Amino acid sequence: MENVVLIIHLLLALALIGIVLMQRSEGGGLGMGGGGGGGAVAGRSAATALGKVTWILAAGFICTSIALTVIAASNAAGTSVIDTLGTELTPADTTVPAADSLLPPAEGDDAPLVPKAN
């Protein structure tokens, strides 16, 4: 089910990109492009067929995005990254190192930080 929704989502994304690129620029972006009519002061123009298709594709894209989120959340419920790796933390793994553990070892320390070469 997830794959079907994902394929529909990708097709909607590609169609949405194509439809947006086919539309005529109305200007207003950083003061570039456009044409007569007063720019931002002009009233809203009539909705074209491309504009209606854009809204329909955008609504479908949002619906498939929400559906994919719900599907992913239901598949991931109750699992953890630690559970998927198959390893669990033991109390020995959770110890916090001492504050001075970054200091070089003392002269008589029998566990050096770097093994000595023979």
| DSSP letters for 74-91 | HHHTT--HHHHHT----T
pLDDT at 105: 61
* pLDDT recorded at residue 20: 92
- Indicate whether 30 pLDDT > 90: no
Comparing 21 with 96, which gets the higher pLDDT? Answer: 21
Decide if pLDDT at 9 tops 90.
yes
> For the segment 49-97, what is each residue's pLDDT rounded down to a tens digit?
888 999 999 999 999 999 999 998 888 767 666 666 755 555 555 555 5
Q: What does DSSP assign to residue 78?
A: T
pLDDT, average across residues 17-37: 71
Tell me, what's the pLDDT at 32?
56
Query: pTM surpassing 0.85?
Result: no
**What is Dmax (Cα atoms) for the chain?**
86
Which tokens go with 6? Answer: 């994902």
**pLDDT value at residue 44:** 60
